[in-house]
């Protein structure tokens, strides 16, 4: 028996088996990895950007966000607007003022300044639901409300995505409760705008109003996952 030949052939066969096994294992792990859709990637990117903004106000598109509608507003006194990143005050868009005892839902509350203002409008007999998909932003909103002495219990914080998705939050959206739904600079960030409008509608009581403050672009740009706003 040619032991030398046998040894060489054995090593070659072993090497080949190893290469084939590695290719098989790589294929298996690629096919078993959870597939993330483009929509979920975009939602994740939005949450990532707003978590970064919650950590540091220097990281964001929000610098110089318009504060239209807040000037001279009694309920806005002392409310920190530095973290506002919407398009001005949605509450001043109402044809009738928000009143004591009403229920307001803020879709995408961010740092929570509109929710604080709404809490002063509805008072202790009313309720404000501050909804956001980014848990870190909800924490900032809660801290701001505490700093503004909002009595406990008026604002409820809801961790949820207004346009659905797989990992947008853990709480159920309030349904059929709101006299007024507001949203300020958020719909432009949603992947499924139809779903976001359905959420606003489902949140309203019959006869409630939806006050939307947002931006849109004409013509519609191609989706750029690097854009934060």
- Chain centroid to Cα 78, Å, comes to 25
d(CA 98, CA 119): 10
* 174 scored as a contact of ligand SAM (CB under 6 A): no
Burial 72-82 (b: 16+ CB within 10 A, else e): eeebbeebbee
- Residue among 64 and 207 whose Cβ is closer to ligand SAM: 64
Q: Decide: is 117 part of the binding site for ligand SAM (CB under 6 A).
A: no
Which of 185, 200, 204, 211 touches ligand SAM by CB under 6 A? Answer: 185
150 makes contact with ligand SAM (CB under 6 A): no
Quick one: 84 or 105, whose CB is closer to ligand SAM? 84
Question: Which position among 76, 109, 117, 145 is part of the footprint of ligand SAM (CB under 6 A)?
Answer: 109
Nearer to ligand SAM, 26 or 41 (CB): 41
Judged by CB under 6 A, the number of residues near ligand SAM is 24
Q: Which is nearer to ligand SAM, 57 or 209 (CB)?
A: 57
Q: Give the ranges where the chain is alpha helix by DSSP (H).
A: 3-32, 38-55, 113-122, 135-147, 193-203
| Smallest separation (angstroms) from ligand SAM to the CB of 190 | 5
- Residues 6 or more apart whose CB falls under 8 angstroms from that of 189 comprise 46, 108, 229
Sign, CA dihedral 67-71-73-77, equals positive
Shortest reach from residue 122's CB to ligand SAM, in Å: 17
Query: CA 24 to CA 3: how far, in whole Å?
Result: 31
Rounded distance between C-alpha atoms, residue 210 and residue 205, angstroms: 10
Strands 103-107, 204-213: pairing kind: unpaired
Of the candidates 122, 161, 173, 203, which one interacts with ligand SAM according to CB under 6 A? 161
Interface with ligand SAM (CB under 6 A)? 46, 50, 84-86, 108-111, 114, 131-134, 137, 161-163, 168, 184-186, 189-190
């Amino acid at each position: 028996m040619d032991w030398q030949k046998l040894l060489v052939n054995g090593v070659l066969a072993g090497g080949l088996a190893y290469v084939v096994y590695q290719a098989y294992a790589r294929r298996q792990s690629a096919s078993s990895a959870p597939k993330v859709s483009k929509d979920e990637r975009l939602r994740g990117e939005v949450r990532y950007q707003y978590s970064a903004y919650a950590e540091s106000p220097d990281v964001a598109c929000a610098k110089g966000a318009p504060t239209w509608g807040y000037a001279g507003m009694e309920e806005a006194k002392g409310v920190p607007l530095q973290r506002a990143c919407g398009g001005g005050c949605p509450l001043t868009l109402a044809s009738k003022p928000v009143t004591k005892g009403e229920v307001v839902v803020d879709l995408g509350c961010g740092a929570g300044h509109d929710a604080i203002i709404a809490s002063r409008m509805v008072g202790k007999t009313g309720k404000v639901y501050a909804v956001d998909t980014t848990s870190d932003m909800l924490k900032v909103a809660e801290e701001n409300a505490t700093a503004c002495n909002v009595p406990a219990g008026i604002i409820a914080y809801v961790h949820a995505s207004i346009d659905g998705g797989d990992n947008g939050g853990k709480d159920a959206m309030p349904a059929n409760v709101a006299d007024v739904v507001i949203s300020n600079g958020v719909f432009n960030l949603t992947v499924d705008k139809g779903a976001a409008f359905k959420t606003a509608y489902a949140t309203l009581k019959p006869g409630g109003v939806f006050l939307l403050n947002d931006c849109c672009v004409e013509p519609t740009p191609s989706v750029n996952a690097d854009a934060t706003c």
